[in-house]
Amino acid sequence: MELTVENLGRALVLRVEGRLTMTAAGELKAAVDREVAAGNTLVVVDLADTTFLDSSGLGALVGGLRSARTAGGDLRIARAGAQVRTVLELTTMDRVLRPYDTVEAAADADL
């Protein structure tokens, strides 16, 4: 997995490229925690280039959501592909981590 960070001003975007599995989940969770601690409480995880998501990756997203909400912010996901959406729907986590079609829509949505 490759992780890049971009600041949109109103939100911090973490772009995840590759497989978000047990081996990469800790890195994503640590990145979210680090950014939230730095004051970036609105985090958008861009999953456009995420080719695979397993339960560990899902756990990292939920853990990041918890960290952001504890700090008074939110974690949102954007541009999830078919496999990621299927995992979200099968686990009903799409109700908690509602996928947005674009990064901008995720960043602009009301808290």
pTM score over 0.85: yes
Q: Where are the beta strands (DSSP E) in the chain?
A: 2-7, 12-20, 42-46, 50-53, 74-78, 99-100
For residue 111, the model assigns a pLDDT of: 63
Confidence of residue 110 (pLDDT cuts 50, 70, 90): confident
Q: What is the pLDDT of residue 25?
A: 96
Structural domains of the chain in order of their starting residue, each with its CATH number: 2-108 (3.30.750.24)
- Inform me whether the pLDDT recorded for 28 exceeds 70: yes
pLDDT in tens, 30-87: 999 999 999 999 999 999 999 999 999 999 999 999 999 999 999 999 999 999 999 9
